[in-house]
Structure 1
Amino acid sequence: MKKHLLYAGLVLTMACSATAQNKDAVKFSKTINKDNAYKHLSVIASDAYEGRETGKKGGWMTADYIKNFFKKIGLKGPVNGDYFQPIDMMTVSLSQVLTVNGQPAEAIKDFYIVPQTVSGAGFGFNTSSVLFAGYGLKKEGYNDFEGINVAGKVVMIFKSGEPNGTASAGNSRSAAMAKIKYLTEQKAAAVLVIDPTIDAMPENLKNYLTTPSLVMKTKEEIEKLNGPQQTPVINIGTVVADQIFAAAKTNLADVKKKIAESTKPASQEINVSISASAKRVEEKVRAENVLGFLEGSDPKLKQEVLVVTAHYDHIGITPEAKGTDKINNGADDDGSGTTGVLMLAEAFANAKKAGKGPKRSVLFMTVTGEEKGLLGSEWYSEHPIFPLENTITNLNIDMIGRGDKDHAADNNFVYIIGSDMLSTELDQIGKKANKEYVNIELDERYNNRTDPNRFYYRSDHYNFAKHGIPVIFYFNGVHDDYHQPGDEISKIDFPMLAKRARLVYFTAWELANRANRPKVDKNADGTKKD
C-alpha cells in the first residue's frame, strides 16, 4: 500500500512539473544543443580567427560571422537597418625623441615615455642644463631639495633607492609617483627618472610600451586626451644617465657612492644640452557591436526590450607566450557565451516564424572591447539603440563552456551574479526557470559587491546595472587556461555549454512573455527602495 501511494505521489509530482513548463518554450529550445554549440564555436574559436582581438582581423571576421548568422535566421538589423553599431575607436601610439648633446637616444632601449601621460597636444622642450636632485627625497635629516628651486627646471632623480645605498622600502612605483607629484606641484618643467631596469627591459613592458593602445572616444575620454599636458616625465636608463653625468665629469656609480659615503645630497646643476619631444599618433580603428533584433508580438509590450549579451572579442595573439601556440583562441572566454547568444537567437527566431514569438522585443547583442575595459557595452549604454528606460533586463553570458577547480567533481553548475542586486523579482524568475526546466546548481558565492574578484563589475552586464537595469551574469569560473593559448575548443564541455545556455533561454522566455517587467526594488548599493 505504501508502495502504491509513493508511486501515485511521484506521478502527481511529475504531472505538476510538466504543467509548470511552457510547451512552446520547451519545443523551441531543442536547437540549443551540443552539436549546434560545436558548429558555432569550432569556427569563431579556431586559429583562423586569430583570437578575435578588438580592432584586428580576427575581431572583424567574428563580427561578420555573427552578422551573417543573425541575417540568416531572420533577425532584423536595428541600427538604421544594419546589424553593426560602429564604435568610435582609435589606436594611440607615441612618437618620442630624446637627444643628449645632440646625440639621439633609442626609444625603448635607452628611454621611454608612458603613452598615457601624453595629451593630444604632446610636448617638446630644449634645455641647456639639468638639475640633478638625487633620490628626490625630502625627509628628516636628508633633503635633496634644500636650497633649490625646481620651478622651470628639467629635474633628474633616481627612481628608487635610499641615500645609504639600500633599496627603497615599500612600493618603488608608488614612491616614484610621489616624487613626480611633488615635482609637478613645484612646477618643474620636466622630470628625468633614472631607472636601471630599462637596461634589461622585460618583454611584457616592451610590448606594453610599443603596442598601440585602444581608446574609445567617449566625451570624457576626448576631454582627457585633449586636456592640458602635464609635466613631461621621461624614464631613462643608465646609458643616458651617464651621458648626462659625463658633462659634470662624473658618472652614475660614483654619484651614488658619494651620496652613500657622505649621507649627504649631491644635488647640482649640470650644464648639458637636452631636447625631447613626444607626440600622439592616432589611427581610427574598425570596431562594432553586432545587434540582432526580434520584435515582440504584443502591440504594447513590444516597446519593452530584453537584452541578451556576450562579448565576442578576446585577446588575440601573444607573441611572447611560451611554447609554439601563440593564439589565444578564447573558446571559453567568451566564445562559449557568444555561441550561447547565437543559439538563443535561433530558438527565438524559430518560435516567431511558427507564430509563437515573444510578446516583448528581444535584442541579441554581441559586444566588442570587453577585454579592453568593457568598451562595447559602455558604448551601447551611452548610445543605446533602444531607450534604456525601456530595457527590462540584461542577461549576460561570459564563459559557460567549462568549469573551475571548486566544481571539478561535478560540472553541473553555473555561477549567477547580480540577479538580486537590483531586483528581488528577477532573482526569483531566474531561479524558478532553473527549477522548472534545467535543474543545475546555481552557485552564488560571487554574488556580492565585496567579492575580492569584483566579478560583478568585470563583465558587460555592469554597464546596464549602473543605469539601474536589473541583470543576471552567467559564469563558469576561472580556470588555468584563462587568458592563455590553452583556452581551446578541445577543453569545452559542450553538453554543459548547451545546458547553461538553455537556462538563459528559459529565463529569457519568461521575461519576454510575462505580464510585467521585473520590478526594480533596490538601489545601486543594494538597499531597499522606499
Structure 2
Amino acid sequence: MKKIFSLLFILPLAYSCTVAQNPSKYANIITEQSSKDHLTILASKEFAGRGTNQEGGKKTVKYLAEQFESFGLKPVVNGSYYQPVALMQVAYKVDSFQLAGQSLINGQDFYIQGDNTNATFHGEEIVFVGYGIQDEKFNELKNTDLTGKIVLVINEGEPKDADGKSLITGTTDKSTWSTSRFKRIQELTKLNPKLILAVNSQNEAMITRMNNRGMMGRVALDRGNAAPNQRQSVPVVHIKKSIADQLLAKVNTSFDQFIATKSAAPSTAKVIKSALHASMGVKQEKFTDPNVVGFLEGSDLKDEIIVVCGHWDHDGILPDGTYFPGADDNGSGTVAVVELAKAFAQAKKDGKGPRRSILFIALAAEEKGLLGSQFYVENPIFPLAQTVACINIDMIGRIDDKHLNGDHNYIHVIGVNKLSTDLKPIVEKANAEIKMKLDYDYDHPEEPMRLYYRSDHYNFAKNGIPSLFFFSGLHPHYHTPEDTIDKIDFTMMTKREKLIFNTTWEIANRDKKPVVDMPLEDAQGTGR
C-alpha cells in the first residue's frame, strides 16, 4: 500500500517533466507559409474587411470555426463553436427628406447630426438667419422668434466691414463665433427651432465622410432595454452649397455672395417660402456576431483555463465599396490564434498536450469598443475564477515606425508589470531560444498611448486575470485601406507567433499558475 501511494505521488511530477520539455517541435508547426495562407484569405476582398454585422464578418467566423473543427478542438458553447454576442446597432436613419420640391438623399445631398427618435418634420417656410450670431456687439437674431421654425444658417465665417475687420472683434482677428466650430449651432438650438439647415464650405467633404462611416452608426452591447433613452435635441442637417444656393436665391443672395458681403450692421432674418418634409431619427437594430471558441482540454490541471485570444473583426466595407483589409489589424492576430491552436492540438494528439486547458477565442466587435471580450467576461463559458491567464494577440505582422530604421527583431510585450510578477520571467524564459528583443516601452506607467487599456485582454485584467498583450506596433496604414497583406513581414510574424506559443506552453505546463500579487487597481487604470 505504501509503495502504491509513493508511485501515485511521483507520477504527476514525472508527467510534468515530460510535457514541460522543449516545445520547439510543436512551435515549428507554425510556419510562414501556413500563416500566409490563412492571412491571404482573411485579408482578401472576398472577406471585405471582416466587418461587424456584415457579410465579410459572417464568412470570417465560418472559416475560423472550420479551422477549429479541423484541429479537433471541442465546441463548448452548447455543442457549437459560436458564442453569439448580443449587439445593437444605433444609427440615424432618414426615411424621406424633401426640400423645395426635391427628394434629397442622406449621405449624398446632406448629412445629419441628431439624436431624436424617429419623427416627422414639416414646414412651409424657412427662416434664413445669416451667420446666426448672437453677440452683444452683433446680434442677428435680436427679437426674432425661432420657436418651432425651420432655420437656415451660414455655418462659417463672420461679418466684416469694408476694411476686412470683424464686426465682433473690431480687428482682423477672428472671434470665437468663427473659431469655435459649433458655437453658433449650439446657441441657435437654445432658441428652440424645429430643425436647422446648416451650410459650410466643408460640407461636401463631410457628406462623403459621413456617408462612408457616420451613417453606419455605432455598435453597443444589447442590454435588453425596453426602450432607448434618447434625448430630443434639434436635428442639424448639413446641406450642400448648391442646395443652399437654391434657397438663398429666393432672398437674392448665395453662399459665396453672403460671405463676401461687407456690412456695418447685422442682417435681418428673412423668410424663404419653401416647403420641407422629412421623416427621420435614431433607430436601433439588434443583431449578433459571435465569438468563435474552441477548447483544448488539459491533463492533470485541466480545470485551470488559459485564454488565447485575438479579435477577428475590422472596419469592414463602406457604402461606397471601400474596404479595409486589416491584414495587420487584426488579421495577423487572428491567424496567430489559429496557428497556436493547430500546434497545441497536434501536441495533444502526440500525447504531449498541455496540463492546463486552453480556450482559443477569436473575439467579435473589438473595433466597436472591446465588445466581444466584454461580453465573454460577463457571460464566461468557464468560470472566471478558473481562468488563470489571458494571452491577447492584436497586430503582430508589421515593423512599426519606431523600429523601421533599426532592429526588426522585436515584439512589444504589454502587461508584464500588471497583476502578476510571474509574467515577465515567463515571457523571458519563452524567449530564450527565440532571442527576440522584448520591448516593454508600452508598459511604462506614464506611456501616453495607454495601449494596455485598448485591447481585449483588458476586460480579463479588470477581473483580476493576469494578462499579456503581444503587439508589433503602430504604422501609417493603421485603420486605412492600405493595411494590406503585401506589407506583412511574415518572417517576423511567424517568429512572434512562436514566442507566443512558447509563452503559452510555459504557462500551460508549469506547476503553479501565475500568481496574482500586484494590486488590481494597477491593471484597471482609467479605462479605454
User: TM-score when scaled to structure 2?
Assistant: 0.81
Give runs of aligned pairs for residues 189-228 of structure 1, distance below 5 A: 189-198=194-203, 203-209=208-214, 212-213=216-217, 215-219=219-223, 225-228=228-231
Tell me if structure 2 keeps the 8 A contact 1:159–1:195.
yes
Residue 30 of structure 1: how far off its partner (Å): 3.1
The one-letter code of the counterpart of 2:238 is N
Do the aligned partners of 2:344 and 2:354 also contact (CA within 8 Å) in 1? yes
2:52 corresponding residue in structure 1: 54
Q: 2:266 aligned with 1:267, yes or no? A: no
Change in Cα spacing, 1:339 to 1:256, as seen in structure 2 (3 Å) is closer
Q: Distance in 1 between matches of 2:212 and 2:401?
A: 31
Select which of 452, 457, 460 maps to 1:461: 457
Q: What is the CA deviation profile of residues 63-84 of structure 1, one whole-angstrom value per residue up to 9, with x for unaligned ones? A: 1221112112221112111101
Asked whether 1:175 is paired with 2:180, we answer yes
1:85-117 Cα distance to aligned partner (Å, 9 max, x none): 122345546224333454444444433224xx3
Which has the larger helix fraction? 1
Aligned partner letter, 1:475 = F
Q: Which residue of 1 aligns with 2:471?
A: 475
Pairing 1:232–2:247 present: no
Distance 1:156 1:223 in 2: 36
Partners of 2:383 and 2:175 in 1: how far apart?
A: 49
User: Residues 364, 176 of structure 1: CA spacing in aligned structure 2 closer, same or farther, 3 A cutoff?
Assistant: same
Q: 1:295 aligns with which of 297, 311, 320?
A: 297
| Aligned residue in 2 for 1:401 | 397
Instruction: Summarize deviations over 1:196-229 as a string: whole Å, max 9, x none.
Output: 43357664344235x5346244329x68955243
Tell me the amino acid that sits aligned with residue 277 of structure 1: S
Counterpart CA distance in 2 for 1:284 and 1:456 is: 30
**How many matched pairs?**
497
Distance 2:363 2:173 in 1: 44
Q: Offset at 1:415?
A: 0.7
Picking from 426, 429, 444, the partner of 1:429 is 426
Which 10-residue stretch deviates more, 305-314 or 192-201?
192-201
Cα distance change of structure 1 residues 227 and 516 upon mapping to structure 2, 3 Å threshold: same
Q: Which one of 487, 493, 497 corresponds to residue 501 of structure 1?
A: 497
Secondary structure of the residue aligned to 2:69 is helix
Local SS of the residue matching 2:491: helix
Cα displacement string for residues 230-277 of structure 1 (whole angstroms, at most 9, x for unaligned residues): 22221123344344445556554555556x312424335555543332
- Uncovered stretches (5+) of structure 2, i.e. residues with no partner: 1-16, 167-171
Contact 2:43 2:327 in 1 (8 A): yes
Give 2:244's match in structure 1, choosing from 237, 241, 244. 241
Identify if the C-alpha distance between structure 1 residues 124 and 195 changes in structure 2 by more than 3 Å, giving closer, same or farther: farther
Which stretch of structure 1 is more off in the superposition, 134-143 or 393-402?
A: 134-143
2:135, 2:176 → 1: CA distance?
17
Q: Distance in 2 between matches of 1:168 and 1:471?
A: 52
- How many Å apart are 1:372 and its aligned residue? 3.6
Q: What is the CA-CA distance between 1:439 and the residue it aligns to?
A: 2.4
Question: Hey, what does 2:63 align to over in structure 1?
Answer: 65
Measured at CA, do residues 279 and 140 of structure 1 come closer, stay the same or move farther in structure 2, by a change above 3 Å?
Answer: closer
CA-to-aligned-CA distance 1:26-66 (integer Å, 9 cap, x gap)? 44333123343234334333444333333333322221221
Q: Which residue of 2 aligns with 1:353?
A: 349
SS of the residue aligned with 1:521?
coil
8 A Cα contact 1:416 1:475, kept in partner: yes
Asked whether the 8 Å contact 1:162–1:168 carries over to 2, the reply is: no
Q: Which residue of 2 aligns with 1:278?
A: 280
TM-score by length of structure 1 reads 0.81
- Does the Cα contact within 8 Å between 1:297 and 1:357 map onto a contact in 2? yes
Provide the rounded CA distance (Å) in 2 between the counterparts of 1:83 and 1:179: 53
Decide whether aligned partners of structure 1 residues 106 and 397 sit closer, same or farther in structure 2, where only a CA change above 3 A counts: closer
Deviates more, 1:512-521 or 1:265-274: 265-274
Distance 1:468 1:180, change over 3 A: farther
Specify whether residues 160 and 526 from structure 1 end up closer, same or farther in structure 2 by C-alpha distance, changes over 3 A only.
Answer: same
Contact 2:111 2:210 in 1 (8 A): no
- Deviation of the 1:368 alpha carbon: 2.6
CA contact (8 A) 2:307 2:360 kept: yes
Which whole-Å CA distance do the structure 1 matches of 2:79 and 2:175 have between them?
57
Offset, 1:175:
2.8
Aligned AA for 2:397?
Answer: G
Determine the C-alpha separation between the residues in 2 that align with 1:263 and 1:520: 70
Query: What 5-or-longer segments of structure 1 have no aligned partner?
Result: 1-18
- Distance in 2, Cα, partners of 1:526 & 1:70: 31
Deviation at 1:308, TM superposition (A): 0.9
CA separation of 1:269/1:317 partners in 2, compared to 1, >3 Å: closer, same or farther? closer
- 1:476-502 CA distances to partner (integer Å, 9 max, x unpaired)? 122344345554444433332222112
Specify which of 411, 414, 417 is matched with residue 411 of structure 2. Answer: 414
Counterparts of 2:449 and 2:174 in 1: how far apart (Å)? Answer: 28
Counterparts of 1:142 and 1:224, CA distance in 2 = 43
> 1: CA distance between counterparts of 2:41 and 2:124?
60
CA contact (8 A) 2:106 2:211 kept: no
Residue 443 in 1 paired to residue 439 in 2?
yes
> Do the aligned partners of 1:336 and 1:401 also contact (CA within 8 Å) in 2?
yes
Q: Distance in 2 between matches of 1:319 and 1:170?
A: 38
Q: What SS does the aligned partner of 2:131 have?
A: coil
Opposite residue 262 of structure 1, the aligned amino acid is A
Q: How much has 1:413 moved relative to structure 2?
A: 0.6
**1:106/1:83 CA distance change after superposition, 3 Å:** closer
Is residue 516 from structure 1 mapped to residue 513 from structure 2 by the alignment?
Answer: yes
Counterpart code for 2:239: I
For residues 426 and 392 of structure 2, the distance between their equivalents in structure 1, rounded to whole angstroms, comes to: 15
Q: Give the residue type in structure 1 aligned to 2:93.
A: L
Deviation at 1:283, TM superposition (A): 5.5
> Compared with structure 1, are the counterparts of its residues 188 and 314 closer, same or farther at alpha carbon in structure 2 (3 Å cutoff)?
same
- 2:11 corresponds in structure 1 to none
Aligned partners of 1:89, 1:160: CA distance in 2, in Å?
A: 38
Q: Identify if the C-alpha distance between structure 1 residues 183 and 203 changes in structure 2 by more than 3 Å, giving closer, same or farther.
A: closer
- Cα distance in 1 for partners of 2:121, 2:45 equals 47
